């Protein structure tokens, strides 16, 4: 999320910040990608690195040359291979978390097969210029050294018991990444509500810490707003625990300079006394870090209950919202929505969308002023009604629920399948 002109823009989907048509030092018709300028609309995948015997996606036309991507065997703790994810009858969803250990590498899903052997995701099919996203499993094409497979992340996928399979792209992540598979059981008939408990971590903020959080009027307004928004998805945010980040770490990472600091901060979750998702309130992000963002989710979705993981939550630059506490609450809810498996309904470039039929799309054809960004005044109701649009309201005068901002039924459907959202009777 970032400030942009007079509007406040949500650009929280990780590396998609790089695709936003802002001044990135590249010529007209190109954009910055990992230090290079690449043609707009082209695949931005990296190139093959022969030295590492790793297969990397290139453009759609090149990729066929590289054959099948390697799949490393999972190690310890988990006997399930990605060549045999044994999904029980009782499962409503599963989330596979793949942990590389080298932050300069990355891992991506390559193919996913359902229990009938059908391909429900194919990275190659995603690499066409106009349709990077398959109809079923949804994965925005970004890079991270750990990743999740979250099945199903749209109602378009039929959840079936049996043996599922996945192939991965692995690049410099580790010889043998650790794999953890979480199954979420189907909702018992008598369970009507969903519960989400959260940890909120304080990072060297002025006058706001774990001790005075309960009395801070702005923070409490933000939390009330967050709760009200989750209520539109039948999720009750019940318990919140407050923690202070240890002093030295807080001083260093209260202004996040880069991903190393971001990950170091999230590792502080090892001190949590529960397995709840984590929301860090930081001072700011360095102006050179992702161009002035004010919120960042570590993944879509994040790994449930993995305290100590660099992907255990989200960060929000809270000082921007001390005088706009409802807006702050909306940003907190938005970031946590990513962490629970939601993509932006429309990304800023108007070419990438979520996989949900009940959230509207605002395509680049609506870019009337030609700045390659689809903005509020260009999207109208295609954007305004949903918390996960890439923009949030410009001020505090938004309503929540019908006619205002809310989650959609399909978004609720997705979040209910994340193991961190629990059923309660
Ligand atoms: Ca710093
Ligand atoms: Ca949609
Ligand atoms: Ca525009």
Which-ligand-closest: CA of 138? 2
Confidence of residue 309 (pLDDT cuts 50, 70, 90): very high
Q: Is the pLDDT of residue 399 over 90?
A: yes
255 CA distance to ligand 1 middle (Å): 4
Report CA(130)–ligand 2 centroid distance (Å). 16
Pair (227, 147) in one structural domain = no
Nearest alpha carbon to residue 281 among 268, 300, 271, 270: 268
Ligand 2 center to residue 267 CA distance, Å? Answer: 33
The answer to the question of residue 299 being in a domain is yes
Q: Which ligand is nearest to the Cα of residue 284, counting in written order?
A: 1
Q: Which residue has the higher pLDDT, 241 or 286?
A: 241
Across the range 29-38, mean pLDDT stands at 41
The closest ligand to the CA of 256 turns out to be 1
The reply to whether 180 and 221 lie within a common domain is: no
**Region 139-145 average pLDDT:** 71
Percentage of the residues of the chain whose pLDDT score is greater than 70: 75
CA angle 107, 109, 113 (to 5 degrees): 150
Q: Does 38 fall in a domain?
A: no
Residue 7 has pLDDT above 70, yes or no: no
Per the structure, the complete domain to which residue 95 belongs is given by 85-185
Going from the C-alpha of 133 to that of each of 127, 138, 352, 357, 381, the distances in angstroms are: 8, 6, 8, 14, 23
What is the secondary structure of 36-96 as a DSSP string? EEEETTS------BGGGTB-----HHHHGGG-SPP-PPP-SS----TT-EEE-TTEEEEEE
pLDDT band of 84, cuts 50, 70, 90: confident
Question: Averaging pLDDT over each range in 37-51, 368-382, 405-419, which range is the top one?
Answer: 405-419
Measure 46 CA to ligand 3 centroid, in angstroms. 28
Residue 59 lies in a domain: no
CA of 8 to the centre of ligand 3 (A): 14
> Are 353 and 409 part of one and the same domain?
yes
Note whether 204 and 172 are same-domain residues: no
Inside any domain, residue 114: yes
Residue 296 lies in a domain: yes
Residue 226 and residue 167 in one domain: no
Distance between Cα 214 and ligand 1 center (Å) = 27
DSSP track, 4-29: ETTEEE---SGGGGGGS-S--SPPTT
* 400 inside domain: yes
For residue 9, the ligand closest to its alpha carbon is: 3
Domain boundary residue among 146, 169, 185?
185
Each residue of 211-230: pLDDT tens digit? 999 999 999 999 999 999 99
Could you say which DSSP state residue 164 is in? Answer: E
Look at residues 185, 207, 241 and tell me which one is the last residue of a structural domain: 185
Instruction: Work out the average pLDDT over 89-102.
Output: 88
Please give the distance, rounded to the nearest whole angstrom, from the Cα atom of residue 6 to the centre of ligand 3: 14
Higher per-residue confidence, 335 vs 118: 335
Domain co-membership, 342 together with 317? yes
Give domain status of residue 156, yes or no: yes
Residue environment code for 352-370, b if the CB has 16+ CB neighbours within 10 A, otherwise e: bbbbbeebbbbebebbeee
Residues whose Cβ atom is located within 5 A of ion ligand 2: 354, 356, 359
CA of 250 to the centre of ligand 1 (A): 9
The better pLDDT of the pair 356, 104 is held by 356
Q: Return the pLDDT at 6.
A: 23
Residue 127 alpha carbon to ligand 2 centre in Å: 19
> In this structure, what DSSP letter does residue 418 have?
S
156 and 206 in a single domain? The answer is no
Q: Determine the distance separating the centroid of ligand 2 and the alpha carbon of 246, expressed in angstroms.
A: 40
Q: What CATH number is associated with residue 379? A: 3.40.390.10
Q: Which of 185, 207, 224 is the last residue of a domain?
A: 185
Ligand 3 mean position to 5 CA, how many Å? 12
Residue 140, pLDDT > 80, answer no
Number of domains, the chain: 2
Top-ranked range on mean pLDDT: pick from 12-26, 114-128, 391-405:
391-405
Q: Are residues 256 and 169 in the same domain?
A: no
Q: Give the pLDDT confidence of 260-288 residue by residue, as tens digits.
A: 999 999 999 999 999 999 999 999 998 88
Query: Ligand 3 centroid to 391 CA: how many Å?
Result: 12
Is residue 371 situated within a structural domain? Answer: yes
Q: How high is the pLDDT of residue 28?
A: 53
Question: How far apart (Å, rounded) are the C-alpha atoms in residues 314 and 318?
Answer: 12
Q: Tens digit of pLDDT for each residue in 343-369?
A: 999 888 888 888 899 999 999 999 999
pLDDT at position 262 is 95
Say if residue 201 is in the same domain as residue 171. Answer: no
Residues 264 and 409 reside in one and the same domain: yes
pLDDT digits (tens, 9 = 90+) for 150-160: 999 999 898 99
**Average pLDDT over every residue of 11-26:** 31
Taking the CB of residue 63, how many other CB atoms lie within 10 A of it? Answer: 19
Query: Above 50 in pLDDT, residue 10?
Result: no
Summary mean pLDDT of the chain = 78
Does the predicted model carry a pTM greater than 0.75? yes
CA of 413 to the centre of ligand 2 (A): 13
Q: Find the 199 Cα to ligand 1 centroid distance in Å.
A: 22
Number of the ligand closest to the Cα of 204: 1
Across 245-334, the runs of DSSP E, i.e. the strands, are 255-256, 278-282, 284-285, 295-297, 313-317
Indicate if the pLDDT at residue 21 is higher than 90: no
Are both 176 and 206 inside the same structural domain? Answer: no
């Amino acid at each position: 999320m970032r400030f942009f002109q007079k509007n406040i823009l949500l650009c929280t989907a990780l590396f998609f910040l790089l695709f936003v048509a802002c001044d990135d030092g590249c010529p007209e018709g190109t954009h910055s990608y990992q230090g290079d300028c690449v043609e707009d609309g082209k695949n931005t995948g990296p190139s093959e690195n022969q030295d590492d015997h790793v297969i990397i996606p290139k453009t759609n036309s090149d990729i066929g040359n590289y054959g099948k991507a390697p799949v490393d065997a999972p190690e310890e703790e988990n006997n399930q291979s990605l060549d045999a994810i044994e999904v029980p009858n009782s499962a409503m969803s599963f989330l596979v978390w793949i942990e590389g250990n080298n932050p300069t590498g990355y891992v991506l899903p390559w193919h996913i097969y359902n229990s009938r052997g059908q391909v429900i995701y194919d990275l190659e099919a995603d690499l066409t210029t106009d349709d990077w996203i398959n109809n079923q499993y949804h994965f925005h094409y970004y890079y991270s050294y750990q990743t999740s497979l979250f099945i199903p992340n749209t109602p378009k996928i039929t959840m079936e018991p049996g043996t599922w399979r996945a192939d991965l792209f692995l690049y410099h992540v580790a010889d043998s990444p650790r794999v953890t598979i979480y199954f979420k059981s189907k909702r018992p008939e008598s369970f009507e509500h969903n519960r989400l408990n959260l940890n909120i971590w304080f990072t060297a903020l002025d006058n706001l810490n774990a001790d005075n959080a309960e009395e801070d009027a702005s923070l409490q307004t933000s939390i009330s707003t967050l709760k009200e928004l989750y209520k539109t998805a039948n999720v009750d945010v019940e318990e919140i625990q407050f923690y202070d980040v240890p002093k030295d770490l807080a001083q260093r990472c209260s202004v996040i300079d880069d991903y190393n600091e971001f990950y170091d901060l999230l590792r502080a979750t090892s001190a949590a006394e529960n397995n709840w998702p984590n929301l860090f309130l930081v001072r700011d992000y360095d102006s050179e870090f992702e161009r002035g963002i004010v919120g960042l989710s570590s993944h879509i979705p994040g790994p449930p209950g993995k305290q100590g993981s660099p992907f255990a939550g989200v960060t929000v630059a809270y000082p921007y919202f001390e005088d706009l506490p409802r807006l702050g609450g909306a940003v907190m809810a938005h970031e946590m929505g990513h962490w629970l498996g939601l993509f932006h309904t429309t990304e800023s470039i108007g070419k990438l969308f979520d996989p949900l039929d009940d959230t509207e799309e605002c395509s680049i054809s609506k870019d009337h002023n030609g700045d390659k960004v689809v903005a509020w005044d260009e999207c109208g109701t295609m954007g305004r009604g949903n918390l996960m649009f890439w923009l949030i309201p410009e001020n505090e005068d938004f309503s929540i629920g019908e006619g205002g901002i809310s989650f959609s039924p399909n978004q609720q459907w997705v979040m209910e399948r994340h193991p961190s959202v629990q059923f309660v009777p």
